[in-house]
């Protein structure tokens, strides 16, 4: 998908999206499983950065030749990795995106928040990619809009479609509430770890926190109402982040 040769990129897209993904989506419907992109997304964060220090992810055997052929680690490959993450997310459902968000927060952000010693130089690229993904537009939930029926669709089919849509919206709402209740404390804890270590990734974490506050207004409002001190701290930190970003923009254009 990120090869320099256009014909190779085209073939890879066909094999991955039009063949492998379609096959996995068919299996999802029959076996209640995740699609191949959703199932391996978090693994890719570790694999693309060649991080093998995790007990679960990226533990499959690889030869040195394979590592060299599929080299995506390092700052010079950031855009290529970001493109791959974006492509995978574009073909995930809303519930899969929620599950990916939950897993990234729990297994990556949460792990570092619980043990600051994990914030090593080798782990930083994985955490950077995770935060960029979480703050990206591609991982946001698709707008829930009722679709009009096509010509010839009878009332029974239309009612079934509306019922399916209503069920999906309800499940999404419940999942979003549970998600926010779990990830906001993780973000706050990780922020403390990063501030203590003066991590350069703090700006990425604040960018993600800003997106959480924007995208989950209703859910975060409940948390803020229950803990006013936490709410004040978050708003103060976000304002400080916005001021810093504005100052950097002014300096870059001066």
Q: What phi and psi, each to the nearest 5 degrees, are found at residue 54?
A: -90, 145
pTM: 0.78
Question: What is the mean pLDDT of the segment spanning 116-132?
Answer: 95
Condensed to tens digits (0 to 9), the pLDDT of residues 197-211 reads 999 999 999 999 999
Three-state SS string over 4-56 comes to CCHHHHHHHHHHHHHHHHHHHHHHHHHHCCCCHHHHHHHHHHHHHCCCCCCCC
User: Can you give the pLDDT at residue 229?
Assistant: 85
Say whether pLDDT at 150 is over 50: no
At residue 117, the pLDDT reads: 92
Lowest-pLDDT choice from 25-34, 141-150, 175-184, 218-227: 141-150
Q: What is the pLDDT of residues 170-181, one digit of tens each?
A: 767 777 777 788
Q: How confident is the model at residue 16 (pLDDT cuts 50, 70, 90)?
A: low
For residues 157-186, b (16+ Cβ closer than 10 Å) or e, as one string? Answer: eeeeeeeeeeeeeeebeebbeebbeebbbb
> What are the distances in angstroms from CA 137 to CA 29, 103, 120, 130?
26, 18, 28, 13
Higher pLDDT, 160 or 229: 229
What value does the mean pLDDT take over residues 68-93? 90
- Of residues 127, 103, 98, 112, the one with CA closest to residue 212: 98
Q: Degrees (nearest 5) of the Cα angle 9, 12, 17? A: 120
**Quick one: average pLDDT of 113-138?**
95
Lowest average pLDDT, out of 31-35, 87-91, 225-229, goes to: 31-35
Residue 84 has pLDDT above 70, yes or no: yes
Is a pLDDT exceeding 90 seen at residue 249? no
């Amino acid at each position: 998908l990120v090869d320099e040769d256009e014909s190779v990129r085209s073939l890879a897209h066909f094999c991955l999206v039009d063949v492998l993904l379609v096959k996995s989506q068919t299996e999802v419907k029959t076996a209640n499983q995740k699609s191949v992109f959703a199932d391996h997304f978090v693994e890719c964060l570790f694999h693309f950065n060649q991080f093998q220090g995790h007990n679960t992810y990226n533990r499959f055997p690889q030869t040195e030749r394979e590592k060299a052929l599929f080299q995506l680690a390092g700052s010079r490959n950031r855009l290529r990795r970001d493109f791959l993450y974006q492509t995978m997310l574009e073909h995930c459902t809303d519930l899969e995106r929620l599950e990916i968000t939950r897993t990234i927060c729990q297994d990556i952000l949460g792990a570092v928040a619980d043990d600051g010693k994990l914030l090593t130089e080798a782990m930083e690229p994985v955490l950077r990619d995770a935060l960029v993904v979480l703050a990206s537009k591609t991982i946001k939930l698709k707008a829930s809009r009722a679709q009009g029926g096509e010509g010839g669709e009878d009332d029974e089919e239309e009612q079934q479609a509306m019922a399916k849509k209503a069920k999906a919206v309800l499940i999404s709402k419940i999942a979003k509430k549970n998600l926010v209740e779990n990830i906001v404390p993780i973000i706050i804890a990780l922020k403390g770890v990063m501030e203590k270590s003066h991590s350069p990734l703090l700006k990425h974490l604040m960018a993600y926190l800003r997106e959480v506050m924007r995208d989950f207004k209703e859910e975060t409002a409940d948390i803020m109402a229950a803990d006013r001190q936490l709410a004040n701290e978050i708003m103060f930190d976000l304002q400080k982040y916005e001021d810093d970003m504005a100052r950097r923009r002014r300096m870059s254009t001066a």
